[in-house]
Chains A and B, each alone.
Chain A
Amino acid sequence: MNNIHAFQRKLLMERSVPGRIGSILPDLDVPKQNLPRPELLRDNLDFPELSEPEIVRYFTNLSRLNFSIDTNFYPLGSCTMKYNPKINDEIAFSPGYAGLHPNQPIDEVQGALTILYRLQGYLREITGMSGVSLAPLAGAQGELAGVLMMRRYLMDNGQEQRLKMLIPDSAHGTNPASAKMAGFNVVSVPTDDSGNTNLEALRAEATNDLAGIMITLPSTLGLFDKNIVEICNIIHQAGGLVYADGANMNALLGQVKIGDLGFDVMHLNLHKTFSTPHGGGGPGAGPVAVKSILEPYLPAPIIGLNQEPNEKHYYLESPNKSIGKLAAFHGNFGVLVRAYVYIRSLGDYGLKQISENAVLNANYIKEKLKGYYNLPFDRNCMHEVVFSATKHKDKGVNGLSISKRLLDYGFHAPTMYFPLTVDEALLIEPTETESKETLDLFIETMKSIDQEAQSQPDLVHDAPHNTPIRRLDEAKAAREPDLRWSRPEEP
């Protein structure tokens, strides 16, 4: 038997053969110049030597080891793994957009600025806020921008002692990490038995060192906090500001505006709600939107418009009290273009249907699976539903095993062990781009895994069986870190 799999997975440096080349570069067409002093020059560069066909086959075969939206259903909670429209990529990669240098004078890039300006406007409209900056490069950077604005606003109002940031215990890890980077102290607030924020605990923290709260809406439990307006009021009355983590906006598009509920600042994840491809871990974009009191603090650049008599002229500006630059240029432009195309192709009608179908699909799964898996919050969910995989723990089958068993059946795993507050959490988000047929197959699969857990627990416990590799030794990876290829020692 040959070992084609091992051959396909040999690393670039292990495949390298001296003398092969992967691209032909042009000859030097100008006179050769004097090289710098020899002590400034490098002697050797350990890079692969490979021909083009083998490089293409290598990467193509690697790609086939991945699950992806184009090939699989991803019920991955809080990640909104929806279909990524191809026209978005086509426009973003076209030379009129992909071929622009970020330092070109603004007169040369008016088409690009037109898109950014309009996108700012659409996001303002969708969120019900008064100002938007497209600068943040991902959700976490949007959070950082948001909490930095809160900090500066409080300082400018003589409230620098306000350093306590409340964060519900169900929040995503980036929330506390971002708050800390902005200089705040993080205090966790508990969730009550019905999945809403515990108001009593919240009131107890509403002291004069309170900076504000970061709330994910809907929460990462997939629930719309029934007391949300009350929460905003409590925080405001105590002199704090209210931040919305809008990573879960897929549930709310066109249904409610976050700004109307009383929030002061929020971010959006365009690589979730607005369909830009996740790329195996980025790029993303995390625009921040704010009420007017925070507008002067927005991160640079903002796109402005001069209405001249017979011409529109767009320009880049820095708001007068801006928290500054978050990155070298103007945001993840290619991602912003994709989101713009998405909004235009769906339009007002389509945006509302996204949230309707996302919520409908999640509730359908919830209803169909609740007799089989433990449902900690039995109420209408939003775009995602959380189950607790505790039923078969005595047989050694937990959330992890169920997730891995799903891979055997060709479905990506749900988000597992998050939120941290739910024992053996399995967070399932179907999105609106999945058909009822796919959902039904998923539901049947989840039911048969439940069956298997009773009748053949080892089968589930030892999953996955059908993936390119089995479960990996993560402890070894952390204990003896092997983080790069190294040339084997000469014998």
Chain B
Amino acid sequence: MPVPDTSFFQSHYIPNTPSQQQEMLDAIGVNSIDDLFSDIPAKHRHPTLDIPHPMSEIDLKFQLMALGLKNSNLEQNACFLGAGAYNHFSPSIVKPILTRGEFLTSYTPYQAEASQGTLQVAYEFQSLISNLMDMDVANDGMYDGATSFAEAALMACRVTKRDEIYVLDTINPVYREVIETYALPQKLKIYTLPAKNPILPATAACLLVQYPNFHGNIEDLALYKRQTEDAGALLVVSADPIAMGMLKPPGEFGADIVTGEGQGLGVPISYGGPYVGLFCTRKKFVRQMPGRIVGRTNDSEGKTGYVLTLQTREQHIRRERATSNICTSQALLALAATITMAAVGKTGFRQLSELNYHKAHYAASLIEKLPGFSLPLEGEFFNEFVVKCPTNPSTINKRLLANEIIGGLDISSSMPDCMLIAVTEMNTEPQITALVTTLAEFGS
């Protein structure tokens, strides 16, 4: 097949010109670039490539910005949608720091002397996340909240040398699916327990609890700690970092592994990713922890510096005996979370958490009074709650969107006519009033 001639095109990302390429070919001693590919079977060389032709920056931006406008975004609409990702405050300083090329375009910090910035940020992240969860140690982040939870279950099985994972029926059903994807191929067994009164057998490796749970309720961690202790199992908690501004952290209840979704800490919501998974444990289990860990040490002149450590847990050293296959993770989003935690700060974090709480409870109290609506679940909640509606939640959500409101998650497949509503510090009183007013149109 003739090779199509595309040499008239020069990409702005490729510096070498045809005459420089020729000089290099001469230096190598071959006639053409094609000769360099001679190890590829000739039969399969030069396939057709049905991809559109190159586009100019102007055209591309025009087209993609127009396509973006087809989406209903959270800048134009009030958002009451949560269930694992939330519209939270991201300080203005996050993006300019995140997009500094020195952070954005650096590699994983294997060369410590050339990566002290990234490494020190990781140490800061580990410090603040351990403080937030009140745990001994944190790693430098996992893919997301769901995979952190799944990896925690695997780790609990390694630590206890048991193979039974117990999961409360109140965890996010998608997290449950991810746990199955990770655990079942390794011949681990997964059992569901009712959150109300779980009875944990003495053969259990761990109990997995979400805090607050999928429906927004604050689970009784003290009870679950007693049960895991009696069973000789580990208590694994997936905690919402924003709730930890006011709620007693899992570490105080004696949790053994704490995970979480770090998106709420100033990470753009970005249709589900990239986010960052949080992962903490106790000191005695650190060698069973997955993911990267950064430690403080000193250089040959006694200066303090930071370095990847305990790497014998990881795939590049231990291969099939590693604690996980994870390699590239979500370091940039851990940086976003670190900047946010620093900027919101000690007093701000409590305030932020309480804004969520009061606004959510205010909204719930108004909705509860609407004819035809009710709050079917009892118990304390943080910033998310289930509402039973007089009609199909998807119908309600369409009306809400017409009023520039993104409604709650339709959970009618598990709880008939129910919607899961999240309220954060980003929701103003007028937004809450608009939500309630629109909902009222559906009342009896």
Contacts and interface: CB of A to CB of B under 8 A. Distances in A.
B320 A346 contact: no
Contacts of A103: 81-85, 409
A224 B8 CA distance: 28
A151 B347 CA distance: 51
Interface in A282-303: 282-284, 299
Given A260-B44, A280-B108, A281-B292, A100 B248 contact: no
Given A22-B343, A23-B348, A484-B137, A360 B181 contact: no
Nearest to A432: B14
Interface in B316-357: 316-322, 324-333, 335, 339, 341-352, 354-355, 357
A66 interface: yes
Given A23-B91, A71-B101, A407 B320 contact: no
B425 A26 contact: yes
Contacts of A144: 325
A172 to B, nearest CB: 8
A138 B172 CA distance: 23
B144 A25 contact: no
A52 interface: yes
Contacts of A404: 113
A438 to B, nearest CB: 8
A326 B181 contact: yes
A363 B38 CA distance: 13
A472 B120 CA distance: 14
Contacts of B41: 228-229, 261
Nearest to A118: B52
B345 A148 contact: no
A63 B119 CA distance: 10
Contacts of B99: 89, 93
B271 A177 contact: no
Given A138-B326, A140-B315, A257 B44 contact: yes
B440 interface: no
Interface residues of B, number: 202
Given A360-B21, A481-B310, A96 B69 contact: yes
Contact of B332 (A173, A275, A280, A477): A280
B327 A138 contact: yes
B102 A56 contact: no
A98 B37 contact: no
B355 A359 contact: no
Contacts of A33: 357-358, 361-362, 365
Task: Classify the interface of chain A: helix, strand, loop or mixed.
Answer: loop
Contacts of A490: none
B105 A70 contact: yes
B111 A67 contact: yes
Interface stretch (A74-82, A199-207, A389-397): A74-82
A368 B84 CA distance: 53
Interface residues of A, number: 197
Interface string A170-193: 001110111111110010000000
B160 to A, nearest CB: 19
Interface string B154-197: 00000000000000000010110110111001110000000000
Contact of A87 (B60, B89, B120): B60
B271 A97 contact: yes
Contacts of A26: 355, 425, 428
A347 B52 contact: yes
Contacts of A173: 314-319, 322, 327
B319 A327 contact: no
A260 B47 contact: yes
A354 interface: yes
B272 A347 contact: no
A323 B54 CA distance: 36
A332 B330 CA distance: 10
B425 A25 contact: yes
Interface stretch (B201-209, B297-305, B384-392): B297-305
A328 B174 contact: yes
Nearest to B11: A350
Contacts of A482: 295-297
Contacts of B297: 472-474, 476-477, 482
Contacts of A47: 128, 131-132, 341, 344-346, 349
A478 to B, nearest CB: 5
Given A62-B121, A138-B326, A281-B108, A96 B68 contact: yes
Interface in B119-134: 120-121, 123-124, 126-128, 130-132
Interface string A263-280: 000000101000101111
Contacts of A179: 320
Contacts of B330: 137, 279, 281-283
5 contacts: A66-B114, A125-B51, A280-B331, A360-B33, A469-B299
Top 6 A-B pairs, shortest CB-CB distance: A96-B68, A329-B272, A70-B101, A279-B332, A102-B272, A283-B274
